[in-house]
């Protein structure tokens, strides 16, 4: 269940949010006090003066954005993962408008440009959560755009407006969420079993095909207690740390998976 907060009342903030805010307390203080001082200096000047550069502005804006973006992660933690629809796309776009990251007109344009409106695209996208089973390098051409644009393929895939392309590439932070996905929710028992057998076959000297496969599910995935929920993040301007260079990718901005040793679950990594 999602816990609501009042954005104006710190008494309603959950403990995790408060920890994140306190970690940035010095940055928030430095930026806002500098901003106030610069404002007062402009007001006291006898004539027009150019706006001074706040040296803390870039880090402050990134911090504020990260706090807002963490709401998406928090919702997944508390409410699970749902398959994408045009309605859920609209909800995510509206949330970014409320956060001040783009305008209502931008949200409308992004929604209208989504490939999910097109009949030939809908069977493979709407109501599905797509995954892939094999590790893929983060600089692989198949995942670079997923990691480099907010919102997944439902927002960026068919964009032709250069300004909107730059907009979705400039906000948010790529995230890898490691979860567990019940194989029963995917109906890919054969592919999962084949991949497990192939992995074992390599340990006894055989050379089977790689065994990677695409899979999707339509069920809502409730929060799963039997695998730790791991979040990895970076700013868009940074590269992933070497330790996380080899990861699993998602095909549609929704999720990805690795078959685990358990026969009833799939270990997954979700990209936001």
Q: Would you state the pLDDT for residue 124?
A: 83
E strand or H helix at 153, and its extent? helix 153-156
Paired with 9 in beta bridges are none
The span from the CA of 182 to the CA of 190, in Å, is 14
The span from the CA of 97 to the CA of 105, in Å, is 9
Residue 114, φ and ψ in degrees, nearest 5: -65, 135
The span from the CA of 57 to the CA of 65, in Å, is 12
SS3 category, 112: helix
Q: Would you state the pLDDT for residue 15?
A: 77
For β-strands 214-217 and 129-132, DSSP reports them as antiparallel
Give the residue ranges of the chain where pLDDT is below 50: 1-2, 225-272
Q: Is 31 exposed, middle or buried (0-12, 13-18, 19+ CB in 10 A)?
A: buried
Residue burial 220-231, b: 16+ Cβ < 10 Å; e: rest: ebeebeebeeee
Q: Would you state the pLDDT for residue 224?
A: 56
E strand or H helix at 248, and its extent? strand 246-248
Q: Would you state the pLDDT for residue 215?
A: 79
Q: Would you state the pLDDT for residue 213?
A: 81
The span from the CA of 179 to the CA of 267, in Å, is 6
Nearest partner of 271 among 149, 128, 96, 92, judged by Cα: 149
Q: Would you state the pLDDT for residue 114?
A: 95
Instruction: Please give the C-alpha separations between residue 252 and each of 42, 68, 119, 180, 270, in angstroms, as whole numbers.
Output: 48, 23, 17, 18, 10
Nearest partner of 130 among 218, 224, 252, judged by Cα: 252
Instruction: Please give the C-alpha separations between residue 201 and each of 23, 104, 204, 211, in angstroms, as whole numbers.
Output: 48, 54, 5, 11
The span from the CA of 181 to the CA of 217, in Å, is 9
Neighbouring residues of 231: CB distance < 8 A, sequence distance ≥ 6:
73, 175, 176, 177
């Amino acid at each position: 269940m999602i816990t609501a907060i009042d954005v104006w009342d710190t008494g309603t903030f959950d403990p995790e949010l408060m920890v994140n805010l306190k970690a940035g307390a010095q940055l928030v203080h430095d930026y806002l006090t500098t901003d106030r001082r610069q404002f007062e200096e402009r007001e006291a000047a006898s004539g027009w003066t150019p706006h001074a550069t706040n040296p803390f502005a870039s880090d402050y804006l990134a911090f504020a954005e990260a706090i807002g973006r963490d709401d998406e992660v928090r919702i997944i933690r508390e409410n699970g993962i749902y398959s994408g629809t045009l309605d859920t796309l609209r909800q995510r776009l509206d949330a970014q408008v409320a956060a001040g990251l783009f305008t209502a007109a931008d949200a409308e344009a992004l929604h209208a440009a989504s490939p999910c409106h097109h009949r030939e695209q809908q069977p493979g996208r709407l109501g599905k959560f797509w995954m892939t089973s094999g590790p893929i390098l983060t600089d692989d051409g198949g995942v670079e755009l997923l990691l480099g644009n907010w919102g997944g393929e439902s927002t960026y895939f068919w964009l032709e407006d250069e300004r909107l392309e730059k907009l979705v590439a400039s906000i948010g932070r790529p995230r890898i969420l490691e979860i567990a996905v019940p194989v029963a929710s995917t109906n890919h028992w054969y592919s999962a079993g084949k991949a497990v057998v192939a992995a074992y076959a390599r340990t006894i000297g055989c050379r089977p095909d790689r065994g990677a496969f695409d899979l999707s599910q339509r069920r809502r995935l409730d929060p799963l207690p039997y695998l730790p929920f791991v979040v990895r993040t970076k700013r868009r301007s940074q590269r992933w740390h070497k330790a996380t260079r080899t990861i699993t990718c998602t095909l549609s901005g929704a999720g990805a998976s690795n078959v685990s040793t358990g026969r009833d679950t799939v270990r997954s990594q979700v990209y936001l």
